[in-house]
Amino acid sequence: MTTRLLGIDPGSRRTGLGVIDVDAYGHYTFVHCEVLNLLIDTDNFPERLGRLAEGIDAAIDQWQPQQVAIETVFMDKSATSALKLGHARGAAIATVVRRGLPLAEYAPRVIKQSLVGKGAADKDQVQHMVRILLNLQGERLFADAADALAVALTHAHMAATAARAGVGVAALRRRSSTPRQ
């Protein structure tokens, strides 16, 4: 049995979408990735959020994922940027929930830890591991799309680990995000 996952790297200017298939043995297959450029022909923020929701709806219609994973908000230097990112995440989450799909959320540090082995990995290291895991050596991969694929790969890894441990993914995420003493 194969499960199709949609990973979302939300942004208020560009949102990355990545689709992978995962089989029962944990093998990953690249399906699709894209970047929704929300700035085309507008700088109106509510219109950009509308485009984000429409783009996610279109991806769900086209690729038919069974599960969705999204990156959580990271703290930025600018409060305005963090708020806009929160709005973009909210629009993405509302779209997924409205479509009735299960949604998992992962912190950037957990995604980096899952793919690279250290939570402080840089974007190049994450992108390199995405290329290796999905066998994308010769293809051009935009940063936002690579980040979305990283979110999907993290969810696949966490779901497989949770299944082996006999716990739900949410319980595993709580354990992985709890600070160690």
Q: In the predicted model, is pLDDT for residue 32 greater than 90?
A: yes
Residue that is written with structure tokens 């290291």 in the block: 125
Specify the pLDDT at position 137: 82
SS3 104: strand
CB 70 within 8 A of CB 93: yes
Specify the pLDDT at position 68: 98
Average pLDDT, the chain: 89
> pLDDT exceeding 90 applies to what percent of the chain?
70
* Edge-to-edge strand ranges of the sheet holding 14-23: 28-37, 14-23, 2-9, 67-71, 103-106
CATH of the domain at 131: 3.30.420.10
Secondary element (H or E) of residue 70: strand 67-71
Mean pLDDT across 10-35:
95
Q: In the predicted model, is pLDDT for residue 19 greater than 80?
A: yes
Q: What domain range is 106 assigned to? A: 2-177
Kindly indicate the confidence band of residue 43, based on its pLDDT and cuts at 50, 70 and 90: confident
Which of 10-14, 21-25, 68-72, 165-169 bottoms out in mean pLDDT, i.e. has the lowest? 165-169
Specify the pLDDT at position 22: 95
Query: What does the angle CA 10 – CA 6 – CA 102 come to, to the nearest 5 degrees?
Result: 95
Q: In the predicted model, is pLDDT for residue 171 greater than 70?
A: no
Measured from the Cβ of residue 35, the count of other Cβ atoms closer than 10 Å reads 21
- List residues with catalytic annotation: 9, 71, 144
Kindly indicate the confidence band of residue 10, based on its pLDDT and cuts at 50, 70 and 90: very high
Specify the pLDDT at position 26: 86
Q: How many domains does the chain have?
A: 1
SS3 per-residue string spanning 128-178 = HHHHHHCCCCCCCCCHHHHHHHHHHHHHHHHHHHHHHHCCCHHHHHHHHHC
